[in-house]
Each structure stands twice: as C-alpha cells, then as structure tokens.
Structure 1
Amino acid sequence: MNQEQKSQKRFISLKVKWAIGTALGVFVIFVALASTLFWSFTSDLLSQERQTVNHSVSTISRRLGAVDAPQFDRQNVQQALTKHQPDSRTGRFYRTPVVEGLADSHLVVTVYDRSQRVVFTTGLPERKLVLHSQKSAELVKGDRHRILQACRPVYQNGSQHLLGYLQVENPLTVYHQRFKHLALIALLLLLLVILLSGLLGYFLTYLLLEPLNSIHSTLEEVSADPTRDVRVKVSTANDELAELGRMFNKMLDQTQRYIDQQSQFVGDVSHELRTPMAIIQGHAQMLQRWGKNDAKVRDESINAIMQETTRMNNLVKEMLDLSRAEQVEIQFRDASTVVNDVVKQVYNDLQMIHPDFTFILDDDLHRPVKVQIHRDHLEQILIILCDNAVKYSTRRTEVHLTLSKNFNAVEIGVQDFGEGIPADETKKVFDRFYRVDKARSRKKGGNGLGLAIAKRLVEGYHGTISLESSLGYGSIFRVTLPIADDDQK
C-alpha cells in the first residue's frame, strides 16, 4: 500500500511534462536567437561608437597639428580648437568650433604636452595617458565599466616635431544605456515567450492526449466491470491516435467476444449436459433398486448409460472444437494450404468410408491454389458438410463437390439431394445446438454443433459460408475462402 501511495505521489501529468518540455525548448531556441541578434546589434552599436572616436581623433589631430609652437599649452590648444577651419574632405568651414561640438558630445578629449602634463580637457578622464600601438580606439576598463579609448602623438603639420599627445575617451554612456534597455526587453520577451509557449504546449497536449484520456477512462470502466459494453470515442482525425483508438476498440471487441464465448460455453455445457446427466442418474437409480434382481432392467440401464456417456463425450469434444474455432484468427493468422489437395483427400476418404454413396468432384481451378486456412481446419469443415450431406440423403445417395475461383477467393460447394431444409430455417442451421428435426437428428447422432463449428472456422479466416436449400430436393453449402497473398496473380 505504501508503494502504491509513493507511486501516486510521484505521478506527474504528461501535460505538465509536455508543457515544461515545450517551454524549455522554446527557451533554448529563443535564447540562442536573441543572443545572436543581441550580439549583432551591440556589435554594430559599438562599431559606430568606435568610428566616432576614430573620426574625432583624426579631426582634432589635424587642428592641433596646425599649432605653431614648440609644444602644446592651454592657450594655443584652445585657440586651435576654437578657430574655424575648412573640412579637408569637403572644403567647407565647420559650422561650430570643435570645442563647442565636444561640449555637446559625450566624448572626453584630453591634450597633453610633450611632458605628458594635461594642458586641456573637456572632462575628467577615467584613465591616464597610455600610448597604444594600434591607431584605432580600443576597449579598456574604466572606473565603472568598459570604455573606448584612443591615444595618439600629435606632430606639427609638415614635420616630425612632437607637439604633445591627444587622448579621446568614449564612456559609452549611450551604448550601455541601450545595452541595459535591450537586455530588459529581451528578458521580458523571454518571460512572455516561456509563459505563452508553456500555455500553448499545455493546450496542445490537452488536445492531443484527449484520445489517451478516453482510453484511460474506458480502461477504468472495463477494469471495474469487464462485461460493460463501453468503447473509446475515436476522433475524426486520420492520425496515429485515431488509429490507436480504433485498434483499442478492436481489442475490446475481441475481449468482449471471448467473455461472451466463455459465458455461452458455460451456459451451453450446463444446459446440454443436464439431459444426459439426468438420464444417467435415472438409470443408475433403477439399477440401484431393481438391477440386482431384474436382468432386463440392468441391461437396459447399462445400455442407456453407455449411450448417453458416448453422446456426452461427443458433445464435449464438439464444444471444445467450437471453443478452439473461436481463436483461429489469432493462433493461425498466417496459415495457408493448397485447397485442391485437401478437397481431393476428403473426396477419396469419403469414397472409402461411404461406398454406397456416389461422390462427384468438379475442379475448375485447373492448377494448385493456396487459400488462407490451416489444412486441418479446411478438412474439418469439409467433413462436417459432407457428413451432413450423407446423413440427410435418404433417396438419392449422391454428393457433389465443386471447386471454382471467384476474384480473389476460392469457392467450395457441397451439394446433396436429400431432405432439404425449410426456407424459414436456413439461417438458423448455423446456430449452436440447432436441429431442423430434433428427434430425427438425435437418432442420427447429431448435437447441432457441426455447422456452428464450420461457420466459426470459416469466419475466423475471413471467409463466408452460405446455404441454399429446397425442401424435398436437397441443399448446397458454399464456402468462400480468400486466396493466400503469395498465390495471388
């Protein structure tokens, strides 16, 4: 009981698992995609900021290179940066001096003299002057976060005279603001996507697992009461779950049929054995009372007991045959046999057993043909039909056997010219224990199970059996069996 309770506690719905799995899958895909886009966008933004720094360094270096002095000082640097000067690329004058432009910018420009003393700055630099071998701006560590920095020596225009050094820093304020903004948006989108994907996964799982839930509820009902006639509601969608529902219903149909067969078998046994058991008991009581002194009573009772015992043995054998016939569809699913050989063998056996009868075989197949049935079962069907033909042929002792092909099936006909069967009883002859004339059938040793066995065997191999009869003129049974797959042309 404890193990059962633990198992129930560990139970996690497949819907939840699917929803979590879907959310995780979407999470991984979204993170990979968002990371790629995020990295691409921030790289482009950083590249733009680097270009801005490099362009500012080039522009200011040209301005400062025009200073006519041994080295930089505050006055000549300020004068060079505030002086209007045409753009080397366009030839136009700057609209505003460089200093004013830098004041509106987020760049920090610092000018050093030859002794690396600060002579001019637009702000408080985060790092000291460090000359780089590369001309482009580099990412370096600042006070709070990374910054872009470019350092360059400044030479007097047209000579190699060193005037001082120029350092431009970009604190990447805009870059970091946008970085945080994008990260926040990505996080919110991620949470939203995970939530929506989880809900969508749960909803889709609910729809997809509805057939499984139906199967589960049906199983619970069948487990509680195996005799209940409940089936799974199969969806109209032509998918694997619909096919699973159909197969499950087919399995339930087979199980229900086995239960019905078992109940019917028990009922038939108890019903059909009641009469012979009563006869045996009655004669046993007669023997007990008068058998010791009356030889006639003794002999009569012994003969009756022997006769009923024989009939009981035959009845039990036929009922077991009928019970086995119910399962041929499973046990002999792939069986096949050459129909010509079996019919020919039964034909020869009948001629030997019943020499006073005339048997005629008409084979229109003209070649060996395999049908889907076990050899023993085909032989049993033919013997049942031919025995009936012999039993009820009183005037014209003649039986016809025919073989013919009908599309993808073989038809076997057994015709007699005996008593015939009334038209209103032709459909009942295949029922269990049914006899057209019970008194006459009992005298001929029939229990009314032969045709029921034949019908079940034929149907077990997906064949058909039919009867045409005319009272006083005889009957013809037609058995149709499908041709084996390896013999179809």
Structure 2
Amino acid sequence: MISREELELRENGPHTNRSRRRFSLKWKWALGTAFGVLVIFAVFAVLIFDSFTSVLIKEERAHVNDTIQVVENRLSSFQSELNIKSVTPILRPEVTGNEVGKNPMTSNRLHNIYNNSIFVSLSRDSTAVSVYDKSGAQIFASRSNAIDFDRVSKKTVRREKSGKFNGYVGDAPIRSHKTKKIIGYVQVTNELTNYHSTSRQLAIILLVLGLIAVFASAILSYILAYFQLRPIEEISATINEINAEPQSSKRVPKFKRNDELSDLAILFNDMLDQMQRFIEQQQQFVEDVSHELRTPVAVIQGHMELLNRWGKDDPEVLAESLKASLQETQRMQSLVKEMLDLSRAEQVEINYTNEVTAVKELVNQVFNDFKMIHPDFTFTLDDDVKRETYVQIYRNHLEQVLIILLDNAVKYSVNRKEIHMSFALGSRNVEIAVQDFGEGISRDNMDRVFNRFYRVDKARSRNKGGNGLGLSIAQRLVESYHGQISIESAVGHGSVFRITLPILNDKERHKLEQQAIKEHAKKSPKPSISTNLGANPSEDENQEK
C-alpha cells in the first residue's frame, strides 16, 4: 500500500521544484562580485590598517624614549641628588623667582632652558613626565599619573594595561655626568591617545571605503551582467518559441559581439538547422514512402481482389496474379531499402566524420569488379596517378557512389556497350569520372536527375529496376564530405558523371586517423545495417533465405 504522504509527494514533487524561489543569474553575478571585492578589500584593509598602526605605535614608543632622553640630558648635569628645588626650575621655569606671574612664552629663561625638544615632549596631552629622587619619592609630575613607580637600574619601555590606562611606560635612572652615580629617576607614560584616535579614524575611513566599493561593484556587476547576458535571453526566447511551435523557423539573431556567447548562439542555430533538416527528412521520407508504395500496394490489392472473386479457379489468372504480386513485393523491398540508404546518407556528418579512404585502390577495385560482373561490356580506366591519394570519406560510401554511377552507365548503355572511367589529381581535389555512350539526358532533365524518384523515362527505368533514388543517394553522400558531383550529357551520345573530393595532406590524414581510432575505441561494436552504405553480406544472405 502506498501511504498518503508518498501520494502527495508524487503529486506535488514536480511542482515543488518549480515553486522554489528563482534567483537571477545577474544577481548571482552581482552579489558574487561584491562578495569577492569585499574579501579582497578586507584583506588589503587589514594589511593597510596593520601597517599603519604599526608605524604609529613605533612612533609613540620612540616618543617615550625621546622624552626620557631629553629629561635625562637636562637633569644629568647635577652632581647631587635631585630634589624639588633643583628640578622644578628646569622642567617648569615659569614658577621660579622673578618669573612668577610672567608669560612663560616670552620669558628669556624659558627660551634658553625650555627649548623645542623638551617643549614638544612635555606639552603632549597623552604624555606624563614624573621625576623621583634617589629614594623613589616623587619630586615632579607634569600631570597626574596612575602608574606605580619602581626603581630600576637601566632604562626600560614597556606596554602596560592598568585600569583605564592602556599605553607605554618608560622608566630610567638619571646619572650624573661627572660622578656617574644615580641621582634620581624619571618615568614617562604615554596613554596613546593620538594613536587610538588615529586608529579609529582610519578604521572608519576603511569601513566607509569598503562599503562604497562593495555597493559600487555590485551595481556595476549587475549592469555588466545585464548587458553580457542579453544573448542568453535571446536564446531562451528562441527555445520557448520553438517549444511552442517545433516547425518554427525562428533563430537566435546574430550578435555583433565576438565572444563565447556569440559562438554559443551560432552553435545553437546550427543545431536548430540540423534538427529542422532531420524533421524535414523524416516528413519527406514518410511522404515518399506513402507516394511510392501506393502503386505496388494497389497492384497487389487488385490482384488479390481478382483472385478472391473468381481468378483463383483459373490457373492461368492465378499464376499471372501471383507473379505480378511477387514482382511488386520485390519492388517494394528494393524501394524501402534504397529509401533507407538515402535517409542514412543524409546523416553521414553525424557518424562518419573522421573516416579516411585510399582512392586509387578503391577505384581499381570497383573497376575490376564491374569488368568481372559484366563481361559483355568494354571497360576502360584512365589512371595517370602514380601515388596513393587519400580523401575524407567512408570507404563504403565512396564505393557505393561509384557502384551507383557504373550501374546507371550499364543500364542505359543499350547499343554501345562501352564505359570509360578516369582518375586524376588536381591541385587540391581528386576527380573521378564515369562516362557511358548510351541514351543521354536532355538539358531540361539534367537539372532534375538528382531529385528523389525522378526518372527520365519512368516506364523504361522501372523495367530496368530503377526507383529514381540512386543519384540522389550519390549526391547526398558526396556533398556530405564537402565534395561535388556534376553531369554532362547529350541526347543520343551518352553522359559523363564527375566526382570531386578534397585531397588530404599527410598531417590532416594522420589527425583524422587518430581521431577515428579514439572514436572506435569509445564506441561499442554495433551490428551493421543491411544497406549498400556499408552492407553486411551475412545479413543480406540471411534475409534472402
């Protein structure tokens, strides 16, 4: 028993896929490009931010070192231990003696003692300078400092986080230039206010630029995708129209662009043209079969009705009806076989694209075969070619074309039983000619001899066993391999049929042979079809039996 859920799944399954939300390829392209730009920009932004902040942090550390060095240089001139009275006039001269209440920026003493380097070092809001005496007691502070001081024997600069403080702390002993003894200590702290402010500004700038880059790339990508994918919309519209009307002659319009999509459009049009040819061939095949089989079927039906009424009681009428019916049956069998040959000849480009044939050998073989089969005819071969020549054609197909031409020459050579063949080379083509001296063809009929079921003299052609398909098969086979077949004829003087095929050079022949080997290796062996286009004699014999 099938459950209810399975029934619902079977009923709704196909519609579920259709009801899924459609996500346009243009949006996929735009969002994909935007995401790619975001990732690339993020990587570069991180590298830039890291490099820039590294430079800033090095500058802040260097500033701490420089400040310590400036203070050491100013205070190391003392020989005795540092105290408030000795340090304050140097590091804060505006509070001393006669200078009290005066503008320190115009003070001569400020100009002499508080020079540019120490002014820069002590005037930064993020920097605090503290001086300690030899015992570690604070005797000077440029501003409040929350970092505890420990006496040190050498200069140190470290990164420290304590409470709200996050910056550099530098400690160093102050030694007298003369005695080389420690007379005090200096501590410099840098809260990195400028560093953090600049880093935040840089991060905001990079974020804004990143968003602009992402949105701009998304918009530009969508616009580019819209224009680049317009051929796909044309192809889709063509497919929908052909699905609605298979016989439509609608094709993808030619694009001025020269890229993969234009190549796709060309290939798609070629495929549609090929499909159209196959459909027309199928329709033509059905129409031809219906038309050509109507007469033999009517003949057989007439004889069967005659026998059914009264002819079966008359031995002579019975024998005549059976003989006529068998002849029409054989004619139908021959007709169907030739029509299948023609149908397969029209699909040569699908199955035999890489076949190579030695022309000289094949021409001599067919020539000798006809000499043996028709000893009452005189066959002549003009062959001045000294070396083997190769063309791109399936061997059985070229053999079939030659058999068709020679067979026609034999059929229509009544009075003068003489047939000439010639084999010659041009600069790029090989030419094979078959000449008879029979009835000939009028100029009006020469344009139609390659049409299906066309016969110059229908009664005589039918008596000779022809259905009017041989030359159609020959023409289709030759043209499938980029060759040409032509005719020259005069009534009462015979006809000349010429075949021209492109010659292969050694490089082209080797390439085709290698491709043919690969294709044969991929394909599993299939039984041959009983036709003259690569016949399987064993099957023909079995069918005759």
Q: Please say if 1:444 is aligned against 2:454.
A: no
Deviations 1:293-346 (A, max 9, x none): 334433332222122111111111100111111122221222222212221122
**Kept in 2: contact 1:211–1:234 (CA 8 A):** no
Q: Please say if 1:241 is aligned against 2:250.
A: no
Q: Please say if 1:223 is aligned against 2:243.
A: yes
**Alpha-carbon distance in 1 for matches of 2:507, 2:380:** 27
Shift of 1:291: 0.4
Deviations 1:403-422 (A, max 9, x none): 11122321111111222222
**Kept in 2: contact 1:54–1:150 (CA 8 A):** yes
Shift of 1:100: 6.3
Deviations 1:146-170 (A, max 9, x none): 3122111122331233332211112
Instruction: Give the aligned partner of residue 377 of structure 1.
Output: 397
**Alpha-carbon distance in 2 for matches of 1:34, 1:327:** 61
Match of 1:250 among 265, 270, 279: 270
**Kept in 1: contact 2:423–2:433 (CA 8 A):** yes
Q: Give the direction of change, closer, same or farther, for the CA distance of 1:402–1:114 in structure 2 (3 Å limit).
A: same
Instruction: Give the aligned partner of residue 203 of structure 1.
Output: 223
**Alpha-carbon distance in 1 for matches of 2:508, 2:428:** 7
Give % identity: 48
Shift of 1:443: 2.4
Q: Please say if 1:151 is aligned against 2:171.
A: yes
Alignment of 1:52-91 (within 5 A): 52-67=63-78, 69-73=80-84, 75-83=85-93
Instruction: Give the aligned partner of residue 185 of structure 1.
Output: 205
**Alpha-carbon distance in 1 for matches of 2:134, 2:391:** 110
Instruction: Give the aligned partner of residue 501 of structure 2.
Output: 481
**Alpha-carbon distance in 1 for matches of 2:199, 2:223:** 35
Match of 2:32 among 21, 24, 30: 21
Instruction: Give the aligned partner of residue 104 of structure 1.
Output: 123
Unaligned runs of 5+ in 2: 1-10, 95-110, 510-545
Instruction: Give the aligned partner of residue 114 of structure 1.
Output: 134
**Kept in 2: contact 1:420–1:469 (CA 8 A):** yes
Larger CA deviation: 199-208 vs 20-29: 199-208
**Alpha-carbon distance in 1 for matches of 2:207, 2:340:** 73
Larger CA deviation: 19-28 vs 137-146: 137-146
Deviations 1:151-196 (A, max 9, x none): 1112233123333221111222111111100000000111111112
Shift of 1:386: 1.1
**Kept in 2: contact 1:290–1:298 (CA 8 A):** no
Q: Give the direction of change, closer, same or farther, for the CA distance of 1:329–1:175 in structure 2 (3 Å limit).
A: same
Unaligned runs of 5+ in 1: 85-91
Q: Give the direction of change, closer, same or farther, for the CA distance of 1:134–1:479 in structure 2 (3 Å limit).
A: farther
Match of 2:62 among 40, 45, 51: 51
Match of 2:131, SS state, is: strand
The TM-score, its normalising length taken from structure 1, stands at: 0.90
Match of 2:335 among 315, 330, 347: 315
Deviations 1:16-48 (A, max 9, x none): 333233222222221222222222222222222
Larger CA deviation: 431-440 vs 263-272: 431-440
**Kept in 2: contact 1:82–1:98 (CA 8 A):** no
Kindly provide the amino acid, as one letter, of the partner of residue 40 in structure 1. S
Shift of 1:83: 5.0
Larger CA deviation: 367-376 vs 398-407: 367-376
Deviations 1:415-435 (A, max 9, x none): 112222222322211111111
**Kept in 2: contact 1:67–1:77 (CA 8 A):** no
Shift of 1:239: 2.8
Shift of 1:398: 1.5
Q: Give the direction of change, closer, same or farther, for the CA distance of 1:257–1:126 in structure 2 (3 Å limit).
A: farther
**Alpha-carbon distance in 1 for matches of 2:432, 2:116:** 114
Alignment of 1:231-310 (within 5 A): 231-310=251-330
Task: Kindly tell me the number of residue pairs found equivalent between the two proteins.
Answer: 481
**Alpha-carbon distance in 2 for matches of 1:202, 1:130:** 64
**Alpha-carbon distance in 2 for matches of 1:37, 1:487:** 57
Shift of 1:99: 8.0
**Kept in 1: contact 2:81–2:133 (CA 8 A):** no
**Alpha-carbon distance in 1 for matches of 2:165, 2:466:** 105
The TM-score, its normalising length taken from structure 2, stands at: 0.82
Shift of 1:108: 1.0
CA RMSD in angstroms, aligned pairs only: 2.6
